[in-house]
Each structure stands twice: as structure tokens, then as C-alpha cells.
Amino acid sequence: MAAFRWLIYALGGGMGHLTRASALARAAARQGHSVTLLINSPFAPGVPLEAVLGPGVEVLRLDAALDKRAVREVVECCLQDVRPDVFIVDTFPRGLGGELVSLLPGLRARKVLVHRDLNPAYLERFDVARAVDAFDLLLVPGEDAPLAGHARAVRTSPWLLLEAGELLPRAEARARLGVPAGDARPVVAVMGCGTHSEVEEAGTLAARLHSLLGEAARVRWLVPPGQATALPVAAEPLHVPVWPAVAVLPGVDVLVGAGGYNTVNEARATGTPFVALARPRLYDRQALRLRAEELAGSVEALLEKAVLLARRPPARGPRRYASGTGDAVALIERLRLNA
Amino acid sequence: MSPMFEGPCQQSTGFLFSHDCGRPAAASCMKCGKRVCDMHLTALGAELVCSTCAEDDDEEDGDSDSGDPDSAPDEDDPSYYYKDYGYYGPGSAWGRGKDPNDFTEADGESLRHEEDASFEEDLGGS
């Protein structure tokens, strides 16, 4: 297989775009492709992307504070410098600030859109269906999406950053979460990574759960690496910087979080009992992503569900760990060869 | 301006979202006492009243006219079948050339603040 130059555009806040695009970048690099990953998440500076993605992926971290004009300039320069064979755009066919509308027509690369749920108001107001026509392939990884019926759309399994064999075994995962060997109590992990304030809110939830559960469980607050936290390192509940979080889920008995793409799919793939709030988002709808048994309608309901799960931990769900990244890479390679 | 009228106009306005007008009040409605600006002040005979009281008066007049065969509603008029049909039926303020429910700049602003207003503007909002 010939190696191609891939440019993956994954601009957007939080950890979602970054993590999903990293899964594809890693799989592509393992097939020998040269990958450039363009991100601007405010969490990106602290996340050990290079260590996880390996030498085949170059990561370009844009300042999250750049405005639309600056983003357009950087993206244009990046397209000229990288001269990609394939240009993969996560979520936003028009670009995060609409800058791709004028850039795509002059781009000779094959164009691929990663298509997940999108707010219908955004679709209608910005004629997103028309923007999608600029793409040669739409990949729909693991969840329904408004334009999934497009003639050039192909569904895959959800994209997961790690292979099944790369997840930590349960004992190692618990040790990574600071649970001593011999401590059999269930681990409740609380995670929030959409915004810095949601990370802090997860810390508050973890503290409340720690207070409610006492010695009945070990509560852990999972934070993106590099995120400053209000609690001292040694305080209970322990805060654990970790990315990707899926690595430690085999050691988690109850996951408390939100309805973001990666959290939901990682919990389901590992069979981790999961309860979540549907956080408001500008572009996707977390309430639609969450199943009824996963969704908590309020913070109090979330705590109640988490306590019940922790006190009587259910058997882990069936582990159906299958990432769609391999299929996605194959589809993109085929597209390029047919060019 | 008399201290009595100090403060913003209290007339509700808005085509999609009801809100206080907010312009400086020029007078008080002589029927309900509400502070109103020039734009929402209507002469009703010898009285100066707010748009709401003027509308109420129009509706009362409409009811009292029901016995007049010349003013009987037309069966082809949708408002014949549906009470309070639209804003433009007989007796509406629209007939006087001033519609208190009209779309205003304030409504446009409220639309711009809807949740979708920051698409492609809030680059950290995804």
C-alpha cells in the first residue's frame, strides 16, 4: 500500500474532536501514512498526544484563542504546507468558522468528512447539506447523523483510540487509579472534559459522591492531563490525570460523566456501568446519544443513580470492543487509489 | 418630563417574544395607568391610552356592532370561523396603521441571541 499524506482537521473545543481524530490518525500512521493532526482544543497543550500517537503523526496545536480570521489563515497555510493527498475534516464540513467553504474548491486532495450528530438548526441555517457535497466520502462512525443517508456516506463502528489489547488489565487499571492491591471496593470514576468548568464540576461531583459513599467505594476524579485542579494531589477523592480514559475503564465499576461521543462509546465498548448528564452543546445533542438507562435528568438524579450502582455494582456489560478506525482507514485508502 | 412618567415604557411588544418596549415613557395610559412611550400612545376620543387598552376598546366596539348588517363579517374571512384569527382580522390595530405586535429591532436582536446564533462564531462552543 502506498503511503499518503493525510491532513486531519479536528478543530473544536473539549476533548471530543481531538480524541476521535486521534483514533483515526493513530490507525492511519500504523498503516504507514504520514499524518498531520490539526487541533485547537484548550486542553491540547497538556495532552500527551505525541506519546500516544507515535512518530507517524505530527500534531499542530493552534491557540484556542485564535479568532475566525486567524484560524482561516492558519488553515490555509497548513493546506499549502502539507499538500495533503487526503484532507479529513471532523464534524464541520464548512470548517469550525466557515473557512473551508472557500478553501475546499481549490484543494486537489480527496476530501473526507467525519460525520456525527449535528444540531438541525445549524444544518438548516448554514445549508450544511450543500457543503457536504464538496466531500468525496462521508464516514459515519458509530452513531446516527443527519446526513448519514447521503449517497457517499458509509457507516463504521465507533472509533476508539486504543486497541482492545492495549487497555490496562483490571488490576493494573485499579493501581493506576490509586487503589491499593487487596482493596476490593468498587471504583467510581467521575469525568468531565467538555470545558474547564465541567472538569471542575466533575471534581465537585466526585467530592459529593465520596461524602455519600464513604468507605463503601473508591471515588476517583479523572481529569485531562495538564488541567489545573483545585484539590491537592493527595486529597480524597483522588484526582487522576489520564488520557485516553478508555485505558483505565477495565478498572472502573461505575463511570459518571456526560454524553460526549468518546465517553459514551468507550463506556459501552468496555461494558462499564455508566450514568451521565446530557450537557448542553452548540452542535451535538448529548441527550439523543444517551440511552434511557444511562441518562440522569439532574445532578441529584445523577448522584442517586451513581450511589445505587456503586452500592450494588451490576455485572459489567458485554464487552464488544470493536473500533471502526481500521475500516475507516481502508475506506480512505480505497478512495485515494480510485482517484 | 413629569416625574410621574419617569421610567421605561411598560407596553408589551414583540412579534415572536413578548417583552417590555423599554423606550422612555411619555405619558400614562388614562385607562390603566401604565407608563407608555409616544409610539404606544393612542388617542381614543378625548383620552390618551396605551395600545392594549385601545385594542380592548376596539374589540368591545366590534361586539357591539354585531347587530349591524352592514358590518357583519364575511364568511370568506377566516376570522369568521376562528376567533382572534391572526393579527389582521377586523378590529385589529393593524387597521389603524400601527400594530403593537409588529416585528421590531428588539425582536431581531432576540433572534440573534437564540442558541444557534453563535454557530461559526463561538469557536470553543463545540
Residue A290, classed as helix, strand or coil, is coil
A270 is written with which cell numbers?
468496555
Please determine, for the modelled complex, whether the ipTM score is greater than 0.85: no
Residue-wise pLDDT tens digits, B92-115 = 444 444 455 555 544 444 444 445
- Chain A residues closer than 8 Å to B124 by CB: 13, 42, 64, 195
**Domain range list for chain B:** 3-94
Q: Compute the distance between CA of residue A283 and CA of residue B125 in angstroms, rounded to an integer.
A: 8
Interface test with chain A among B111, B114, B123, by most A beta carbons within 10 Å: B123
B91 is written with which cell numbers?
378590529
pLDDT by residue for chain A (339 residues), tens only, comes to 689 999 999 999 999 999 999 999 999 999 999 999 999 999 999 999 999 999 999 999 999 999 999 999 999 999 999 999 999 999 999 999 999 999 999 999 999 999 999 999 999 999 999 999 999 999 999 999 999 999 999 999 999 999 999 999 999 999 999 999 999 999 999 999 999 999 999 999 999 999 999 999 999 999 999 987 776 666 778 899 999 999 999 999 999 999 999 999 999 999 999 999 999 999 999 999 999 999 999 999 999 999 999 999 898 877 789 999 999 999 999 997 787
- Chain A residues closer than 8 Å to B121 by CB: 68, 97
Residues A150 and A177: beta-carbon distance below 8 Å: no
* A64–chain B nearest CA distance, Å: 7
Q: Which of B119, B121, B124 sits opposite A13 (nearest CB)?
A: B124
Cα–Cα distances (Å) from A308 to A204, A215, B35, B81, in that order, read: 19, 14, 56, 57
Residues A337 and A169: beta-carbon distance below 8 Å: no
CB neighbours (10 Å) of residue A59?
18
The dihedral of CA A170, A295, A319, A326: what is its sign? negative
pLDDT of B18 higher than 80: no
- Chain B residues closer than 8 Å to A97 by CB: 120-121, 123
Pairing mode, strands B27-28 and B35-36 = antiparallel
Pairing mode, strands A238-241 and A295-296 = unpaired
Contact across the interface for B126 and A64, Cβ inside 8 Å: no
Contact across the interface for B126 and A13, Cβ inside 8 Å: yes
What b-and-e string marks burial along A127-146, b requiring 16 or more CB atoms within 10 Å of the CB? ebeebbebbbbbbbbbbebb
* A242–chain B nearest CA distance, Å: 22
- Chain B residues closer than 8 Å to A14 by CB: 126
Q: Write down the pLDDT at residue B77.
A: 53
Cα–Cα distances (Å) from A320 to A15, A104, A191, A214, in that order, read: 23, 37, 22, 33
Q: Write down the pLDDT at residue A301.
A: 97
Between B8 and A144, whose confidence is greater?
A144
- Chain B residues closer than 8 Å to A12 by CB: 126
Numbered residues of chain A with Cβ closer than 8 Å to any chain B Cβ: 11-14, 16-17, 40, 42, 64, 66-68, 71, 91-92, 94, 96-98, 119, 121-122, 125-126, 195, 281-284
Structural domains of chain A ordered from first start: 5-159+323-337 (3.40.50.2000), 165-311 (3.40.50.2000)
Residue A109, classed as helix, strand or coil, is coil
Cis? peptide before A244, omega within 30° of 0: yes
A25 is written with which cell numbers?
490518525
Residues A177 and A251: beta-carbon distance below 8 Å: yes
Phi-psi region of A226 (alpha: psi -120 to 50; beta: other; left: phi over 0): left
